[in-house]
Chains A and B, each alone.
Chain A
Amino acid sequence: MKRSLSILLICLSLIAGLSGCYMSRYSKSGELNMADPAYAELMPFSANFDKALYKARLEVNGHEFSGLMMIKTSEGTNYKVSFFSELGLNFFDFELRDVGSTNGLNLYVRNIYPPLDKNMLLNKFEKYFSMLLAPGPSGDVRKTYLAQEGIGIMILMKSYKGKDGYISTNLIEPYKEIVNVGGLFKKEKISIALSYNAGTDSPESILIDQPGFRMKFSLRFVE
């Protein structure tokens, strides 16, 4: 009796886990050699990207921070980011350095408004900016997946935290979504939705959402 009950509970937990599995939305579609440099151009910030100014809005634990954010390349594959209020007062200055970790950039804080100076929050920022600005899946052989509903091809790769999925409509247009999945059931942990204007080196809009964590981060291109 006890054994039957245990098996039932295990089955129920597996069903519950699988129902939250992000990868169940996709089916395997073989491997793709992404050695062609053209694949690097699918990344949200192209190789020609220099700098961009965004209108930014950060909502975290019921607090709102709105203002402008400038993202600028620095010494090749490194980046600098400043976020400041409309009236000019600084929220943070970050540097993101490519130190060779798997699809990750290391975040260094140069200046930060004290209420935002929390390790947990800084780790989140490091992951978000890594998903956007790290080299991504190009340059290697990657597993691909096709969306079961709608149109979409996902390139899945290991990252320093879980796996990052880069989703494109046709592998010609830039990635429209980046997700981070992890854990036993590959649940969606972070979702970044992207939109573009033709002929630009950076996205028109970026919406970062992390289910289960009270944080939303939206950016809209200004200049």
Chain B
Amino acid sequence: MKKIRYSILFISTLIVALIIPSGMALSQNDYRPMEDVEAFRSSMISASENSLSIASDFEQMKHLSFLEEDVKSRGIFYFQKENKLRWEYSDPFYYLIIFNNDTVLIQDENNTNVYDAASGKMFRQINEIMLSMVNGSILESDDFEFEYFEKPSSYKLELRPLDENMKEFLSKIHLFINKKDITVDELLMLEKSGDYTRIHFINKRLNEEIPQHTFDLP
């Protein structure tokens, strides 16, 4: 229905689902090819299976290469198995995305829109991808080409989109995963234009009880 909305939701779902399996900013240097990819994949799947919910603050920085400026924002998100998500920006503007089973809500200070996820192919894909993230099967996805790296404190996954729609936005996604708890510390989205967006997850709370109204739709 609205292709751009779906694309945004697709990315947000990807972010949330991947954070299930890493708390500190990581240097992107000093990574070397991962020695035991299979062991890493097993630990991702195991961590995902044990993660019923997650709540985390986030700080986002968008680099505008053309304007040579950075735009910073922050907020909080909640995720609950199987497929409930609240992605809420609070500063410098209010913006909210809620996934609740087959329904998606997008809200800003002036507008609220609710979409039926089941009504569109893209929404079905989003749901499938989210579930695959939760159960760790994203690593089997045909939508990305994966490269695996590590250093003593963390793993780095580089995902190159194969899906044509995603390629219009993204050239690559980098995920920085904390080796201690196998959760995402940082996400880096690189665009063809030279822009990039870095999202840093802080103050993560795993398996904390999240009030159900967090995912309520109007």
A residues at B contact (CB < 8 Å): 51, 53, 55, 57, 62-66, 68, 70, 72, 80, 82, 84-91, 93, 95, 110-111, 113-115, 222-223
User: Contact at A90–B191, with CB atoms within 8 Å?
Assistant: yes
Name which residue of chain A comes closest to B169, CB basis.
A89
Q: Does B195 contact A (CB under 8 A)?
A: yes
Judge whether B3 is part of the interface by a CB distance below 8 angstroms.
yes
- Please state if B67 and A115 are interface contacts (CB–CB under 8 Å): no
The DSSP consensus for interface residues of chain B is mixed
Contact status of A68 and B71, CB under 8 A, knowing A89-B170, A90-B195, A223-B92: yes
**Chain B 1-45: CB-based contact to A (< 8 A → 1; otherwise 0):** 011110110011001000000000000000000000000000000
When A and B form their complex, which 8 residue pairs have the shortest distance between CB atoms, in order from nearest?
Answer: A88-B197, A111-B193, A88-B62, A93-B66, A89-B169, A86-B95, A82-B64, A222-B92
Which B residues touch A93, using CB under 8 A?
64, 66-67, 193
Contact B12 A84 (CB under 8 A): no
**CA A65 to CA B8, docked complex, whole Å:** 10
Task: Give chain B residues whose Cβ lies under 8 Å from the Cβ of A223.
Answer: 92
Q: Which of B93, B109, B189 contacts A89 (CB 8 A)?
A: B189
Q: Which residue of B lies closest to A58 (CB)?
A: B4
A70-B3 contact, Cβ under 8 Å, with A82-B64, A89-B8: no
> Which residues of chain A come closer than 8 Å to B189, judged between CB atoms?
88-89
29 contacts across the A-B interface (CB closer than 8 A)? A51-B69, A53-B71, A53-B92, A55-B108, A57-B108, A63-B2, A63-B3, A64-B2, A64-B4, A68-B62, A68-B71, A68-B93, A72-B69, A86-B73, A86-B93, A87-B11, A88-B62, A89-B7, A89-B8, A90-B169, A90-B191, A90-B193, A90-B195, A95-B66, A110-B66, A111-B66, A113-B169, A114-B168, A223-B92
**Interface magnitude class on chain B:** 35 or more
A84-B11 in contact (CB<8A) = no
B62-A84 in contact (CB<8A) = yes
B78 within 8 A of A: no
How far in angstroms is the closest Cβ of chain B from A187? 29
Cβ distance A15 to chain B, nearest Cβ, rounded Å: 39
Closest to B3 in A: A115
Question: Does B89 reach chain A (CB closer than 8 Å)?
Answer: yes
Cα separation A66 to B73 with both chains bound (whole Å): 15
Q: Is B60 an interface residue (CB 8 A)?
A: yes
Asked if residues B8 and A86 are in contact (CB atoms below 8 Å), the reply is: yes
B18 to chain A, nearest CB (A): 14
CB of B66 within 8 A of CB of A55, answer no
Q: Type the 1/0 row for B53-75, where 1 means its CB is closer than 8 Å to any CB of A.
A: 00000001010101101010100
- CA–CA, A169 to B158, complex, Å? 56
